[in-house]
A and B are shown apart, each in its own frame.
Chain A
Amino acid sequence: MSGAFLEFLFRWGHILSGVTWIGLLYYLNLIQGAFVAEAAGPTKVEVTTKLLPRVMWWFRWAAMSTFVFGILLILVKVNAAGSMGGYFKSPQGMSIAFGGILGTIMWFNVWFIIWPNQKVIIETNQTAAKAGKAPEGLGKRPRIAFLTSRTNVMLSIPMFFFMAAAHYAGGVLIKF
């Protein structure tokens, strides 16, 4: 298998996973959050206990898959360029470095802030729903998960800019 074909396969996986991840991020921030804020009590419970666990499964594993394919793509690129410095000093490498750092921060936010908090929120709601009570003791968890999710929406804008710019980096990154 040629290096170019391997690179293409990794890119394909990176895009498929990335679309799934960020699609769900935008769904959560643009649609589900606003819906839950308006929904009646029993509907809120249904969304949190039955819909959210499914969204979060695809959301976090798509984030992981995007990250892994991204790392593999960079390894292929660095290998083709001959050295780490050689690749990242090129306009394309510079653009990917910025996009990759933003994407890595977003991946970290999903796995180490959003998911650990959402896991507790989901489990607490499921336990409370079975007992027929309101969920208690969540403290700042919903707020932390919400703000981190919004932070990822913000970071996705420059992240996509640099990912897309990498293909035209010579013309996009301008030294004033």
Chain B
Amino acid sequence: MKNPLETWKGAVTLGVILTVILWLIAGAMS
């Protein structure tokens, strides 16, 4: 599988996924 960081679109997609995960974690911790 190609590294998603090869393209800026892959990096942005990973960034959005990471945002949702961290948002849930931050919510659980608050």
Contact = CB atoms under 8 A, between A and B. Distances in A.
B19 A158 contact: yes
A91 B22 CA distance: 14
User: B interface, by DSSP: helix, strand, loop or mixed?
Assistant: helix
B27 A158 contact: no
Contacts of B23: 158, 161, 172-173
User: A interface, by DSSP: helix, strand, loop or mixed?
Assistant: helix
Interface stretch (A14-22, A61-69, A148-156): A148-156
Contact of A147 (B5, B24, B26): B5
A54 interface: no
B27 A175 contact: yes
Contact of B18 (A29, A95, A157): A157
Interface in A151-176: 151, 153-158, 161-162, 169, 172-176
A176 B20 CA distance: 13
25 contacts: A94-B30, A95-B26, A98-B26, A147-B3, A150-B6, A151-B5, A151-B11, A153-B11, A154-B12, A155-B15, A157-B12, A157-B16, A157-B18, A157-B19, A158-B18, A158-B19, A158-B22, A158-B23, A161-B19, A161-B22, A161-B23, A169-B30, A175-B27, A175-B30, A176-B28
Interface of A: 29-30, 91, 94-95, 98, 147, 150-151, 153-158, 161-162, 169, 172-176
